[in-house]
Amino acid sequence: MAFAPPAAFAQQKPRRVGLIGCGWYGKCDLFRLIQVAPGVEVVSLCDVDKRMLAQAAGMVATRQSSKKEPRTYGDYRQMLQERDLDIVLVAPPDHWHALAMIAAVKAGADVYCQKPISVDVIEAQAMLAAARKYKRVVQIGTQRRSTPHLVEARDTFLKPGKLGKIGLVEIYCYYHMRSTANPPDTAPPDYLDYEMWTGPAPMRPYNSLVHPGSWRAFTEYGNGIVGDMCIHMLDMVRWMLDLGWPRRIASSGGILVQKDSKANIPDTQLATFDFDDLKVEWQHRTWGHPPDPQYPWGATFYGDKGTLKVSVMGYDFTPLDKSPAVHRDVAYELEQYPEDKTEPRLEKHVAPAIRHHMKDFLAAIDSRGKPVAEIEQGYISTASCILANLAMKLGRTLAWDPAKQRVSNDDEANRLLLRPYRQPWTHPDPERV
């Protein structure tokens, strides 16, 4: 008797998929998964915004092969009680990542979780503990690790040592992405369950900046631009240079220019991630010009034999000797995936990276191995960015102890590793997930 290989059985049985958070990037991730795994069946969607939920259900029906509309839920706990999902995508605002991801792995699903994985360090530790306890594959949405031209830059220039000794990497974001508006507070719209949207975060008066999308302007729901944009670049540098934890983290900044906005995140911040003989320096400004208009968000690797600039749009290698410089642009895949041309709000240059990231996730599910952006890597990068914000808040350098998973000799900093939850929500405990 001939036995079909495991891959064949996987193709015969569709993977059942659910999405928590049907906003911008939740749909971007879900539709890229459908593109690379046409056998998946999206059976469940969850969102606290009824209009967003209905729109997503209709879009899924047009995109998946079965043409079926998925079930819809306003509470992720009800969705997961069905215990019939193989894969769950977690893409609500940052303050919801931990509880949703932990519940999903407890329900037996493998998880693709958006970055940053958490809003505090203890949440991240609990998420890692849950992934290990329930033996689930968890991929984090730090898709720079799967961006084709960045893989090429790493393999062509960094791994062979063509930059020589690298002593400094600058990472930066100069996008004018911080809201400058100051609208009045209002009652929430009737289609939004604002109590559930707020969840474990502090309850603020509803404001039109909060939903959808501009919640990133408030520290109550995330960790500012460091938590949103620095994590991508820091994680990319760690992957490219095979780095673990920074030993020391320092940061300074604040609201220095855009003082009239309702937003309460810093418009200017600098941070140093100290890897002993390598320094990684972050800077963001949400005002003024970028130093290099071709690289408003990216990283510059400085070596004694050359310089490498990388971003989501391409890379440039400039050697110190007389050999030629190398430039590469991002490769789009619009002809292979023509639906990318018309999908609302899709970052077309990022779509290939998400597809490669999803393929890596699916391969890890099949092998029960670790994907390229496995949750432990997401924990390190997320926690490092959170520690930068704590260093800025406390006004001092923090020394991280990777063995103890604590800040060394700093009780005040360690108390800030956990944000209090709003009742009745309970903060996850790494020892009791």
Tell me the C-alpha distance between 400 and 124, whole Å. Answer: 15
In this structure, the number of other CB atoms found within 10 A of the CB of residue 199 comes to 18
Is the bond leading into 424 cis (omega within 30 degrees of zero)?
Answer: yes
φ/ψ of 175, rounded to 5, equals -65, 145
Fold held by 10-144 = Rossmann fold (3.40.50)
Per-residue pLDDT of 135-161, as tens digits, reads 999 999 999 999 999 999 999 999 999
Asked if 164 contacts 306 with a C-beta cutoff of 8 angstroms, the reply is yes
pLDDT > 50? residue 90: yes
Per-residue pLDDT of 271-295, as tens digits, reads 999 999 999 999 999 999 999 999 9
Tell me the C-alpha distance between 400 and 410, whole Å. Answer: 10
CA distances from 123 to 101, 273, 342, 379 (A): 10, 21, 37, 9
pLDDT > 60? residue 8: no
**Which residue blocks in 134-230 are alpha helix, DSSP H?**
148-153, 194-198, 224-225
**Per-domain residue ranges of the chain:** 10-144, 148-333+375-415
Tell me the C-alpha distance between 380 and 357, whole Å. Answer: 19
In this structure, the number of other CB atoms found within 10 A of the CB of residue 331 comes to 12
Taking all residues of the chain, what is their mean pLDDT, rounded to a whole number?
Answer: 96
pLDDT > 70? residue 7: no
pLDDT > 90? residue 12: no
- pLDDT value at position 10? 43
The CATH number of 148-333+375-415 is 3.30.360.10
Per-residue pLDDT of 347-396, as tens digits, reads 999 999 999 999 999 999 999 999 999 999 999 999 999 999 999 999 99
Per-residue pLDDT of 71-88, as tens digits, reads 999 999 999 999 999 999
CB contact set of 123 (below 8 Å; sequence gap of 6+): 97, 98, 117, 418, 419, 427, 428
pLDDT > 90? residue 4: no
Q: Do the first three CATH levels of 10-144 and 148-333+375-415 match, i.e. the same topology?
A: no
For residue 39, what pLDDT band results from cuts at 50, 70 and 90? confident
